[in-house]
A and B are shown apart, each in its own frame.
Chain A
Amino acid sequence: GQNIDQPTEMTATEGAIVQINCTYQTSGFNGLFWYQQHAGEAPTFLSYNVLDGLEEKGRFSSFLSRSKGYSYLLLKELQMKDSASYLCAVATGGGNKLTFGTGTQLKVEL
């Protein structure tokens, strides 16, 4: 089976940095994705990691360690609009089936 864990909720201050962790145990691994989802909307793609290391994309960075089954999403210079749910997802199988974690609800405060 697939098991993907994230913290349920996090709170951070505007302008600060926050790290959202994700651990996974899956049958197979084709890559790990991070998505942002605002309430009532579809998820939007943030980042993708298939090799170990850090991928940086503007204010967002994502890290992967395949041996540890671990990833994190780093958000810098937090803005109020970053308040959303952040979903960690792992792709497996020949069809690249994407299994999502429970999601982390991030609240950015003044």
Chain B
Amino acid sequence: GAVVSQHPSWVICKSGTSVKIECRSLDFQATTMFWYRQFPKQSLMLMATSNEGSKATYEQGVEKDKFLINHASLTLSTLTVTSAHPEDSSFYICSAWRTGMGSPLHFGNGTRLTVT
């Protein structure tokens, strides 16, 4: 079946540094990928929609200059958390649809980011 791979699974970084998270669709092409963030005991909140070959679409309240998204190919989207702060510590999950209505949204395994 379709698989979405996310890397790294967890990362610890110091405050002020940047962290890049990769999301790959392994056996299908994804023109659109989605990035979610989940704080403990809360639901998934959509951060942005990553569009291959064009600019990402950010949800209200998400800083586009802080959360840089690049979707350079049909199988890869990256999220870079720039100048990370402890409040950015969260579970980041990417997802992608296979083409065709009704196919489930496939999720990566998520990245646990801890900023110290």
With both beta carbons as reference points, the residue of chain A lying nearest to B95 in the complex is identified as A98
A87: CB under 8 A from chain B?
A: yes
B interface secondary structure, majority = strand
Q: Which residues of B contact A91 (CB under 8 A)?
A: 105
Q: Which residues of B contact A110 (CB under 8 A)?
A: none
A interface secondary structure, majority = strand
Minimum CB–CB distance for B49 against chain A, Å? 6
Asked whether A97 lies within 8 Å of B34 as measured between CB atoms, the reply is yes
Asked whether A42 lies within 8 Å of B104 as measured between CB atoms, the reply is no
Asked whether B46 lies within 8 Å of A98 as measured between CB atoms, the reply is yes
Instruction: For the complex, give the distance between the alpha carbons of A101 and B43 in Å.
Output: 7
Minimum CB–CB distance for A11 against chain B, Å? 16
Residues of B participating in the A interface, judged by any CB pair closer than 8 Å: 32, 34, 36, 41-46, 49, 91, 93, 95, 97, 101-102, 104-110, 112
- 7 closest cross-chain pairs (CB), A and B: A45-B104, A42-B107, A103-B43, A100-B44, A100-B43, A42-B110, A102-B43
